């Protein structure tokens, strides 16, 4: 499901944003509403909340709700940000990089596409200051829809009316459609879940991985047009839509499946692969024998899937690894990225975020630095990573 952040600023045309929100909901889009304080003079938060089906965000800081830096998390979770209406004041603050309320902070903190639907007095629109701000915003990538020519609320006539809601909706749908297909033609390998290493017919070595994060990533990539091959250890999760799933049990099986699916454009190694396996698998259940000491278990190292893919002859253009640590998160993660040779690595502290939980918080490591991501749902993290991957391939394209 696409997610749109709808910012409503203070202008008489604010009521038309309700039509936009209503139709987006009918399209199956999740609409997250944000209102400036000035917008409250024209429409009520209650009406916006009812039409969007979500609480209205108005304040930059919410006591009790900033453990994950709420405004940053909100900015990063959107597929696009739509400002309807966009006033001259709001666009001026955007152009000058101001972040003095929730709306401008979100617009400054996002890397999602921004669509502005201006509405104001015609003389305000034609003012050189406004035109300079609009030109600067367009140069930075913002899409401007309107304003239209006609009568405005103050009784004057000229270019200043909010564009027709259907025109705005068409532009939003184009953004969503483009984003949903921005990985089309890309073949991506994702590993997920645990591996299971048998000791005897009854016992095995494994870990607590639920597969939730890997499956969310596979789903997010497939939704954007990628051909996704999900190599999964044993988990109780349904196969995401439009994803080809290959079930495996052991690390060796996962290793062989990964190599068999090369070449790919990208490999996202999310699986929690067992580092070791039993040197010898007993044919029958190991039995207790009176007062004898417990049997000794001899272990051997499993193949390193991430390092192998990072140095393969048919190396994917982009190799992404995950690291689960309990101490010294950044130090261990940096060492792992360098040792494995992957391009990116996402590291999380599993002493805080146990396997199987709905939330995740990671450090995103690349060759150029470390970027801490705020705590978010695993689905939102998957979307954010998909954004990064799409941006990577967009820059790689000739």
- Chain segment 322-350, per-residue pLDDT in tens: 998 889 999 999 999 999 999 999 999 88
Residues 208, 167 share a domain: no
The model's pTM is 0.69
Ranking 186-195, 213-222, 292-301 by mean pLDDT, the lowest is 292-301
Q: What is the mean pLDDT of the chain?
A: 90
For residues 126 and 88, is the Cβ–Cβ distance under 8 A?
Answer: no
For the segment 118-139, what is each residue's pLDDT rounded down to a tens digit? 999 999 999 999 999 999 999 8
217 is in an annotated binding site: no
pLDDT at 331: 94
Does residue 256 form part of some domain?
yes
Does residue 282 form part of some domain?
no
289 is in an annotated binding site: no
Inter-helix orientation angle 128-139/88-95, to 10°:
50
CATH, residue 40: 3.40.50.1950
Residues 174, 191 share a domain: no
Distance CA(260)–CA(189), nearest Å, equals 11
Domain finish residue from 180, 202, 224: 180
Q: Is 154 a catalytic residue?
A: yes
Residues 214, 360 share a domain: yes
Residues 134, 15 share a domain: yes
Domain finish residue from 117, 145, 180: 180
pLDDT at 69: 47
Residues 203, 101 share a domain: no
Distance CA(297)–CA(280), nearest Å, equals 9
Does residue 290 form part of some domain?
no
Does residue 285 form part of some domain?
no
336 is in an annotated binding site: yes
Residues 328, 263 share a domain: yes
304 is in an annotated binding site: yes
Checking if the pLDDT of 67 tops 50, the result is no
Task: Say how many domains are in the chain.
Answer: 2
Distance CA(195)–CA(349), nearest Å, equals 20
Angle at 140 between CA 136 and CA 141, to 5 degrees: 120
Residues 68, 143 share a domain: yes
Nearest-10 Cα torsion for 108, 109, 110, 111 = 90
Where in the sequence is the domain holding 103, given as residue range(s)?
A: 3-180
Domain finish residue from 180, 203, 218: 180
Residues 377, 232 share a domain: yes
Does residue 288 form part of some domain?
no
pLDDT at 251: 97
288 is in an annotated binding site: no
Q: Which of 154, 258, 269, 342 is catalytic?
A: 154
Residues 202, 114 share a domain: no
Residues 223, 86 share a domain: no
Residues 372, 240 share a domain: yes
275 is in an annotated binding site: yes
For residues 86 and 119, is the Cβ–Cβ distance under 8 A?
Answer: yes
CATH, residue 200: 3.40.50.10300
What percent of the chain stands above pLDDT 70? 95
Does residue 25 form part of some domain?
yes
Does residue 167 form part of some domain?
yes
Q: Give strand pairing partners of 320.
A: 268, 344
Q: Which residues, 6 or more positions from 116, have their beta carbon under 8 angstroms from its beta carbon?
A: 83, 86, 91, 137, 142, 143, 144, 145
Confidence band of 354 (pLDDT split at 50, 70, 90): low
Distance CA(80)–CA(37), nearest Å, equals 22
3-state secondary structure the chain: CCEEEEEECCCHHHHHHHHHHHHHHHCCCEEEEEECCHHHHCCCHHHHHHHHCCCCECCCCCCCCCCCCHHHHHHHCCCEEEEEEECHHHHHHHHCCCCCCHHHHHHHHCCCCEEEEECCCHHHHHCHHHHHHHHHHHHCCCEECCCEEEECCCCCEEEEECCCHHHHHHHHHHHHHHHHCCCCCCEEEEEECECCEECCCCCEECCCCCCHHHHHHHHHHHHCCCEEEEEECCCCCCCCCCEEEEECCCHHHHHHHHHHCCCCCEEEECCECCCEEECCCCCCCCCCCCCCCCCCCCEEECCCHHHHHHCCCCCCCEEEEEEEECCCHHHHHHHHHHHHCCCEEEEEECCCCCCCCCEECCEEEECCEEEECCCEEHHHHHHHHHHHHHHHHHHHCC
Closest CA to 171 of 162, 183, 158, 161: 162
Confidence band of 356 (pLDDT split at 50, 70, 90): confident
Distance CA(110)–CA(73), nearest Å, equals 9
In which residue are the tokens 């000229």 written?
158
With b meaning 16 or more CB within 10 Å and e meaning fewer, what string describes 332-356? ebbebbeebebbbbbbbbbeebeee
Please return the burial class of 177, using the count of CB atoms within 10 Å of its CB with bins 0-12, 13-18 and 19+. exposed
Residues 370, 264 share a domain: yes
Does residue 338 form part of some domain?
yes
Q: Kindly report the number of other CB atoms within 10 A of residue 208's CB atom.
A: 11
61 is in an annotated binding site: no
Confidence band of 353 (pLDDT split at 50, 70, 90): low
Checking if the pLDDT of 267 tops 90, the result is yes
């Amino acid at each position: 499901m696409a997610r749109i952040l709808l910012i409503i600023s203070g202008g008489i045309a604010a009521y038309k944003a309700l039509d936009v929100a209503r139709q987006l909901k009918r399209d199956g889009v999740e609409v997250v509403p944000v209102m400036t304080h000035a917008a409250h003079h024209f429409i009520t938060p209650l009406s916006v909340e009812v039409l969007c089906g979500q609480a209205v965000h108005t304040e930059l800081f919410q006591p009790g709700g900033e453990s994950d830096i709420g405004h940053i998390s909100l900015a990063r979770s959107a597929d696009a940000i739509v400002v309807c209406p966009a006033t001259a004041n709001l666009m001026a603050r955007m152009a000058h990089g101001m972040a003095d309320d929730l709306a401008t902070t979100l617009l400054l903190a996002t890397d999602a596409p921004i669509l502005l639907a201006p509405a104001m007095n015609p003389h305000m629109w034609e003012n050189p200051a406004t035109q300079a701000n609009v030109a600067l915003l367009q140069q930075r990538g913002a899409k401007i829809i309107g304003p239209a020519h006609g009568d405005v609320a103050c009784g004057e006539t000229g270019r200043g009316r909010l564009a027709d809601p259907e025109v705005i909706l068409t532009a939003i749908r184009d953004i969503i459609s483009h984003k949903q297909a921005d990985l089309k033609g890309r073949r991506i390998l994702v590993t997920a879940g645990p591996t299971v290493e048998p000791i005897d017919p009854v016992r095995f070595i494994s870990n607590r991985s639920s597969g939730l994060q890997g499956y969310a990533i596979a789903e997010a990539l497939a939704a954007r047009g990628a051909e996704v091959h999900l190599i999964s250890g044993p988990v109780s999760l349904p196969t995401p839509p439009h994803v080809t799933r290959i079930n495996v049990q052991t690390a060796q099986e996962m290793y062989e499946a990964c190599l068999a699916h090369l070449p790919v454009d990208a490999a996202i190694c999310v699986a929690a692969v067992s580092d070791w396996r039993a040197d010898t698998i007993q044919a029958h259940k190991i039995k207790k024998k009176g007062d004898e000491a417990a049997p000794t278990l001899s272990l051997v190292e499993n193949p390193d899937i991430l390092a192998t893919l990072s140095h393969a002859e048919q190396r994917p253009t982009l190799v992404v690894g995950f690291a689960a640590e309990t101490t010294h998160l950044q130090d261990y993660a940096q060492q792992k990225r360098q040792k494995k040779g992957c391009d990116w690595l996402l590291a999380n502290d599993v002493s805080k975020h146990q396997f199987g939980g709905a939330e995740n918080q990671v450090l995103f490591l690349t060759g150029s630095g470390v970027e801490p991501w705020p705590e978010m749902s695993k689905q939102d993290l998957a979307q954010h990573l998909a954004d990064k991957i799409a941006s990577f391939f967009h820059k790689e394209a000739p």
